[in-house]
Amino acid sequence: MILVAAIKNTYVIKLGTSLITDIETNEIRIDTLNNITDQIARIKEKKNIVIVSSGAIGLGLKTLNLKKRPSLMPEKQAAAAIGQNKLMNLYEKLFNKRHITIAQVLITKDGISNKKGYVNAKNTINTLLKYDIIPIINENDTMATEEIQFGDNDNLAAYVAQIVDAEMLILLTDTDGLYTKDPTIHADAIKFEIIEEITTEVNISASKSNGLCSVGGMSSKIEAAKRALEQNIPVIIANGYGKDTIENIANGISCGTIFLPKKEE
Ligand code: GLU
């Protein structure tokens, strides 16, 4: 293993459940994942990549003979415990084909909220990056249930962006960005291209678009964006199904909705 200097800037890329499995059929979205890993392989020369991935619950459902996400928390946790293994096997195959090494990192918000846990997580992730390995991070769903309940890992991704001092937090989802209202119902919904301040209007739009995304909805993405912006980290909400979404972002081509930190005065 060659130790590379960690001089590259880091993208934290968060993949929501809807990009990993089809929520109706629970089938793995292999074409989407192949496309995403292809793009990551291509930009990896220029950027450190940290992935925050949901999908453990979705991948664990079949084994428990469940068609839908269970409503009881212990069942969700059991599904996640089964699915996390499958999730990592999936990533292992996808990235091995592209000669990229990955590592599993499981964290909880509580764990990284104390100094010791924060430093441990930071040291682990930064050392993996130094060895040119992509950390694939999920919540430890046995120990915590915050993201299962509210966020589909959006907030966790914001914490991770802070830990690695990311250049950018990219929240990949199943829509093109944040709209004034749900674009699947309202033809006159308008997409926000750039958000320089999270105003009441932005919050209301997010709550109107909440039905769009599989688990966390737009509100948890706005929460995550606020957290990252406080650390001066720009955030993009973009469509993970798009063929070139990640490469476009890396090449500075506008896509999705970008949230910019306040300029220093
Ligand atoms: N840790 C969860 C998972 O991987 C993410 C949150 C959720 O999907 O509810 O499935």
CA 152 to centroid of ligand 1, rounded, Å? 5
Are 222 and 206 within 8 A, CB to CB?
Answer: yes
Q: How many residues does the chain have?
A: 265
Place of tokens 């249930």: 145
CA of 260 to the centre of ligand 1 (A): 27
* Least confident segment among 131-135, 143-147, 254-258: 143-147
Distance of CA 46 from the midpoint of ligand 1 (Å): 29
Plot region of 50 (φ>0 → left; ψ -120 to 50 → alpha; else → beta): beta
pTM over 0.85: yes
What angle do helix axes 73-96 and 30-43 make, rounded to 10 degrees? 60
Cα(58) to ligand 1 centroid in Å equals: 8
Q: Which two tokens stand for residue 63?
A: 């084994």
- The fold adopted by the segment(s) 10-259 is Carbamate kinase (3.40.1160)
The three-state (H, E, C) secondary structure of the chain, written as one string: CCCCCCCCEEEEEEECHHHHECCCCCCECHHHHHHHHHHHHHHCCCEEEEEEECCHHHHHCHHHCCCCCCCCHHHHHHHHHHHHHHHHHHHHHHHHCCCCCEEEEEECHHHHHCHHHHHHHHHHHHHHHHCCCEEEEEECCCCCCHHHHHHCCHHHHHHHHHHCCCCEEEEEECCCCCECCCCCCCCCCCECCEECCCCHHHHHHHHHCCCCCCCCHHHHHHHHHHHHHHCCCCEEEEECCCCCHHHHHHCCCCCCEEECCCCCC
- Which atom of ligand 1 is found nearest the CA of 139? 1
Among 19, 57, 59, residue to substitute to test ligand 1 (most atoms within 8 Å of Cβ):
57
Using one digit for the tens of pLDDT, what is the confidence trace for 25-77?
999 999 999 999 999 999 999 999 999 999 999 999 999 999 999 999 999 99
Which residue minimizes the CA distance to atom 9 of ligand 1? Answer: 148
Q: How confident is the model at residue 7 (pLDDT cuts 50, 70, 90)?
A: low
- Per residue in 179-212, pLDDT (tens digit) is 998 888 889 999 999 999 999 989 988 887 765 5
Rounded to the nearest angstrom, the distance between the alpha carbon of 134 and the centre of ligand 1 is 19
Which ligand 1 atom is at minimum distance from the Cα of 54?
4
Q: Which atom of ligand 1 is nearest to the CA of 57?
A: 10
> Is the distance from CB of 127 to CB of 85 less than 8 angstroms?
no
Atom of ligand 1 nearest to the CA of 87: 4
Domain residue spans of the chain? 10-259
Q: So what's the pLDDT on residue 5?
A: 45
Residue recorded with tokens 């992509």: 134
